[in-house]
Structure 1
Amino acid sequence: MISILIPTYNFNTLPLVEELHKQAVLENIDFEIIVVDDASPINEVTEINSKINLLSQCRFERNETNLGRGQNRNLLISKAQYDWVLLMDCDMYPKSKNFLKIYLKSLAKSNNKVVFGGLIYFDEKPKDDEVLRWIFGKNREEIPLKKRLSNPYHYTLISNILVRKEVLLSHPFDRDIYHYGYEDIVLILGLKNHHIPITHIENPAFHLNLEKSAVFLEKFHYSLQNLKQIIDKKIIHPEDTTLTKTYVKIEQLKLVGFATFLFKIFKKLFIKNLLSKNPSIFLFDLYRLGYFCQLNHR
């Protein structure tokens, strides 16, 4: 029936597994839940997650070496015994008590191969030093179903997605991408290029883990460095993301150097805003574009 696969890294995944396990048992289905920790430090979180092994049809494993986000998911997929795979990030949590029931209805439709339920954030504003991640999520990841339906590939995330296992075996996460960022975009573009449709439904999960704004900003530096490498290796085309499409226009106008110059002048002001309790999503877009120009400026 369904294999629920959860990659994790130094995060308490037990509450998510307990909820999914409870729902699966109530549905009286054949299922398994597999959680694989990607070689995070052994600590109290590891001890908590090991309790997953006490639940029926559930197991927790830990990699001896770090594989990276994409390869850890490929490992999970290789372990799955059922025809359908529900990929969930470890810091997600179902909104509905009928979360699995709603997904199970999608299994009955023979034309479905990939089903995305959506992602949401709590409406309550978080602590001042965590607002950037929250405001980015509310604006760029929490997308209403109607809007998602207008551009299914563009508005798909892999943090809460149901996929036929055969699709993931035929189109695995790219093995050449190890570092953080954009491995999900590469997978979705692969599905698009092979004309594998993505069905969107209303079955969201909350994103719980709000990193501190400074950490989130630094992670975006790594993700943009990874994006540059992905494009340099021709894994994807610059036209495949909004940011790189804009960069190409700047490059065609021979303004990359000027954009980098402006970025360096205003960088501290950008960061001051982005780390504040009222960050601007518009300034964050400009910051990311400026940083990407800087990466590419010779």
Structure 2
Amino acid sequence: MLSILIPTYNYNIYPLVKKIHAQLSKTAYVFEILCLDDHSEKQDTIAQNEAINSLENATYTILPENIGRSRIRNLLAQKATHKWLLFLDADVLPVADDFITKYVETISDEKEVIYGGILYQQEKPKKENVLRWIYGKEREALTVSQRQEASYLRFLTLSFLIRKDVFDKVNFNEDIPNARHEDTLFANDLKHMEVHLTHIHNPVYHLGLDTSKGFIHKSMESVEVLILFMKNGLIEPNDILITKVFARVKKFGLNHLLSLMYTWFGKFFEKNLLSNNPSMFIFDLYRLTYLCYLDKRQ
């Protein structure tokens, strides 16, 4: 009845798989755990993950080449044999000991996608990781009621349950660059196809915190991808908050000023974001001014 699908790349997923397997083994659920490695380079990590193959109904397979975040998720779904698919990112860990049961007990005929949410550990990390931690706690670790206010916009693909026949119709876009926002497009497609999305409280911890410098780099890459998405009609400005704000400032001719702000104050913005007390306002402004800057160069 349940296929657990975990893509990984240079990350030790054995603790995650072992915990999920232990929970499943205490139930009468029919299950499989499928893990695909996107051609990792770290041999020590591969060796750790190969222990997964010793667990009943669990497999760990290394792909012969790197195929990217979208294709590997679609491939996992194609290999799955059960009606319900539980996607888990490599760097998460269930909070509750009855994590699997909570998901399964939510299943009903009218349910199509179920999202349990994520949490971040309370202890503040080292300075080099603090930006990603603050962003996660303020923007991602939301209550069920907060998520329901913007149901699809606040859906993340780190941990979600989906019916296989639904995923066959709405899967991850393989035509986009292997950069960012494949989850944004997926959520947007769910919305436009009117797929029923249910929010529950069944979180996972997000453990794999990028460094602040790395997170800034990924965030700016994401802005570049958004320009491409808007240009190719993959998203409408109102689909995402930053593009919605961008459309408004452009309407009133403020985009030119914001573009200049990026060139004038970009280094100042980055200095704040690399500090031990980064501002989410500065983070948003940095991305918005960069979006205006890129648009002006088109």
Normalised TM-score (structure 2): 0.97
- Partner of residue 65, structure 1: 65
Say whether the 8 Å CA contact 1:214–1:275 is kept in structure 2.
Answer: yes
SS of equivalent residue, structure 1 residue 27: coil
Count of residue pairs brought into register by the alignment: 297
Say whether the 8 Å CA contact 1:119–1:141 is kept in structure 2.
Answer: yes
- Partner of residue 31, structure 2: 31
- Partner of residue 223, structure 1: 222
- Partner of residue 147, structure 2: 148
Give, in whole Å, the separation in 2 of the partners of 1:64 and 1:220.
29
- Partner of residue 79, structure 1: 79
Structure 1 residue 199 displacement after superposition: 0.6
Identity between Structure 1 and Structure 2 (%): 38
Structure 1 residue 42 displacement after superposition: 4.1
Say whether the 8 Å CA contact 1:67–1:178 is kept in structure 2.
Answer: no
1:51 partner amino acid: A
Give, in whole Å, the separation in 2 of the partners of 1:224 and 1:64.
31
SS of equivalent residue, structure 1 residue 297: helix
**Pairing 1:164–2:178 present:** no
- 1:1-16 → structure 2 map (5 Å cutoff): 1-16=1-16
SS of equivalent residue, structure 2 residue 85: strand
1:255-283, Cα deviation, whole Å (9 max, x unpaired): 32221111111111111110111101111
- Partner of residue 195, structure 1: 194
- 1:67-216 → structure 2 map (5 Å cutoff): 67-107=67-107, 109-216=108-215
- 1:42-57 → structure 2 map (5 Å cutoff): 42-57=42-57
Q: Comparing 8-17 with 149-158, which one deviates more in the overlay?
A: 149-158
1:121-144, Cα deviation, whole Å (9 max, x unpaired): 011100011000000000110011
1:124 partner amino acid: E
Give, in whole Å, the separation in 2 of the partners of 1:180 and 1:89.
16
SS of equivalent residue, structure 1 residue 180: coil
Structure 1 residue 244 displacement after superposition: 0.4
1:59 partner amino acid: T
Say whether the 8 Å CA contact 1:70–1:178 is kept in structure 2.
Answer: no
- 1:235-250 → structure 2 map (5 Å cutoff): 235-250=234-249
1:33-58, Cα deviation, whole Å (9 max, x unpaired): 11111122142111111111111111
Aligned Cα root-mean-square deviation (Å): 1.1
Give, in whole Å, the separation in 2 of the partners of 1:221 and 1:38.
24
Give, in whole Å, the separation in 1 of the partners of 2:119 and 2:160.
14
Give, in whole Å, the separation in 2 of the partners of 1:255 and 1:282.
18
1:96-128, Cα deviation, whole Å (9 max, x unpaired): 000001011012x21111100011001110001
1:276 partner amino acid: S
- Partner of residue 20, structure 1: 20
1:52-105, Cα deviation, whole Å (9 max, x unpaired): 111111111122222111111001111100000001100010000000010110
SS of equivalent residue, structure 1 residue 156: coil
Structure 2: segments with no counterpart, 5+ residues: none
Structure 1 residue 149 displacement after superposition: 2.3
Say whether the 8 Å CA contact 1:77–1:165 is kept in structure 2.
Answer: yes
Q: Comparing 184-193 with 249-258, which one deviates more in the overlay?
A: 249-258
Give, in whole Å, the separation in 2 of the partners of 1:80 and 1:12.
22
- Partner of residue 231, structure 2: 232
Q: Comparing 253-262 with 21-30, which one deviates more in the overlay?
A: 253-262
SS of equivalent residue, structure 2 residue 153: coil
Structure 1: segments with no counterpart, 5+ residues: none
SS of equivalent residue, structure 1 residue 161: strand
1:90 partner amino acid: A
- 1:280-291 → structure 2 map (5 Å cutoff): 280-291=279-290
